[in-house]
Amino acid sequence: MNRTQVMLAIPGNWSSAEGVNEQISLHSEGYTMAGLLLLEDETGKAFTVEVVERDPALAEAMIHASSGGFTPKVAKGIARHTHVVYLIVDVNDLTDVAAARRAANAVLNAGGVGVMVESAGVSFSKDEWQESKEEDLALDYSLLTAITEEENAYMSWGMKAFGHADVAVPMTLEIEDAIHVIHSFNFHLISGGAMFGDGDHFAFEDGRAFTVEMGEDERTTIDNLLHNPFGLIYLVPQVAE
């Protein structure tokens, strides 16, 4: 797996930056704050933490990027946050991806009200993020990636969290089919399936096949948190002869 970073923004209600440390110590169960690091006691994994004051722009972005639409109560809680905890996770393998979800849980338990996945442009309420405590790759994938409808294609975002390129399929596909193809291809990669090169074929059991076209991720600038340094793969439907 290629090395990468995941950044999670967690707004919450704390009296001060020091109050964040205090609440994590009291309520995180299994985590310790050491300066600007959040330490997972059992594994020794360390996560960089940055605390900033209220950010109305983040609240607006989270409400717009909600995966399922926030309830008025949740939206109000996010809008009224006092501080934001930025959790920066160095990812070297899939255990680090799971650790990122657990670390965010710790901050949520200490007063956080939601999570913005900066590397995918998608947000979740506290309850959505903590819906399951099980260690599950499919759940990690569902939380750290997103699919959007662009002008000419459906595209995934956030696959850099797993050390892979994102994927695009043409708008000629029905949206349900496009989502299925993207999820199937992405999950094939993150679960250890065979890698693909330019011109290779990705096929389904029903006979449908797609040609893999490797490309750069030119959707954003390199310094944008959404930019995927591993590239963007285009899946081109093959026409049956």
Q: How far apart are CA 197 and CA 107, in angstroms?
A: 40
* Angle (nearest 5°) at CA 127 between 65 and 16: 80
The whole-number average pLDDT for the span 48-53 is 94
Tell me: the pLDDT tens digits for 203-214?
Answer: 998 888 999 999
**The pLDDT value given to residue 109:** 93
Question: Which pair of structure tokens corresponds to residue 59?
Answer: 């609240």
Smallest CA-to-CA distance from 60 within 4, 107, 112, 123 is with 123
Tell me: the pLDDT tens digits for 62-114?
Answer: 999 997 789 999 999 999 999 999 999 999 889 999 999 999 999 999 999 99
Confidence of residue 241 (pLDDT cuts 50, 70, 90): low
pTM of the complete model: 0.91
**Contacts of residue 9, Cβ cutoff 8 Å, sequence gap at least 6:** 58, 62, 84, 85, 86, 87, 115, 116, 118
**The pLDDT value given to residue 29:** 81
Question: Which pair of structure tokens corresponds to residue 65?
Answer: 């990027």
In Å, how far from its chain's centre is CA 33? 23
Backbone conformation region of residue 104, classed left if phi is above 0, alpha if psi is from -120 to 50, else beta: alpha
pLDDT mean across residues, the chain: 92
Cβ distance 88 to 100 under 8 Å?
no
Which of 8-12, 26-30, 38-42, 73-77 is the least confident region? 26-30
